Structure 1
Amino acid sequence: MEKIYVVYWSLSGNTLAMAEAVGQGIKEAGMEAEVVDVSSASLEELKKAKAFALGCPSMGVEVLEESEMEPFVCDVEAFAAGKTIALFGSYGWGDGQWMREWVDRMGAVGASVLNGEGLICQETPDASVLAQCSELGSQLAKA
């Protein structure tokens, strides 16, 4: 069974909850999911994968977390061409600019962002958002 990785960075637990729901959707679609914090993620495994998910909240002035996630995403950009990537994350303020920029970055290096946009929520994901995350995982499993 092919494993689909869900790599995330979370400070408050909001993006972690989203990542777990994406992983659950992958499993419900009949695939194996590996939900892993970015600090423990393997770039080599992602290089071999045809599809994976990345999650990060908005930080500061609507940017990716800068010490772990941003360097990881920079590394992913080197091999993202031809991959299907689901993007997700939470934010506390702003309008989602960080996610639009992240989607554009992945597209610019030849990745296909699932649904053409990232899945975002403000603050703590509620049941509706978690259901959307699960559906995102299911779609990723079928990509």
Structure 2
Amino acid sequence: MENVVMIFASLSGNTEAMADEVAAGIREAGAALTVGEAYTASAGDLVNYDGIVLGAYTWGDGELPDDFLDFYEDLDDVDLTGKKAAVFGSGDMSYEIYCAAVDILIEKLRERGCEIVLEGLKVENGPTTAQKEQCKQFGSRFVTSN
């Protein structure tokens, strides 16, 4: 995979910390990477990339954050057949549904034709040093997945 886009949303900085590490792994694996925040990104632009990585925190009792809603709805108008994709996110285990935003985004990408090449990466709150390394490996594995 040569050309990857990452779109993410972060409120407290937890998902952004994950995104930074995933991005480092993608770049170290040799892919060109474009990074954007969900509230300013255009879902239609995803067709210009080989790979798509989305990152979101889970809001409330298992919902997408508000800054991801427009992007999420706009995905309904985009055919992503054949694109490779992966999703990561942060959440809080004190809620009944842990990191539901990751699962919601995976399902939407599948609906739009993406091949999900990695299991969703979920981290409680902010990533530890060991989890930051997992995030970096997630990015690297994404680029090298077939």
Scaled by the length of structure 1, the TM-score of the pair is 0.86
RMSD: 2.0
Q: Distance in 1 between matches of 2:100 and 2:112?
A: 19
Gaps of 5+ in 1: none
Code of the residue aligned with 2:71 in structure 1: it is F
- What corresponds to 1:134 in structure 2? 136
Kept after mapping to 2: 8 A contact 1:8/1:54: yes
- What corresponds to 2:86 in structure 1? 86
Gaps of 5+ in 2: none
Moved over 4 A (4+): none
Q: Cα deviation per residue 1:83-140 (whole Å; 9 max; x = unaligned)?
A: 111101101233233323332232233211222x311100111112111111111122
2:127 aligns with one of 114, 125, 128: 125
Spell out the pairing of 1:1-143 with structure 2 (5 A cutoff): 2-66=2-66, 68-77=67-76, 78-93=78-93, 94=95, 95-115=98-118, 117-143=119-145
Kept after mapping to 1: 8 A contact 2:56/2:102: no
Kept after mapping to 2: 8 A contact 1:52/1:140: no
Q: Distance in 1 between matches of 2:41 and 2:101?
A: 22
| Residue 56 (structure 1) shift | 0.5
| Residue 44 (structure 1) shift | 4.1
> May I ask how many residue pairs the two structures share in their alignment?
141
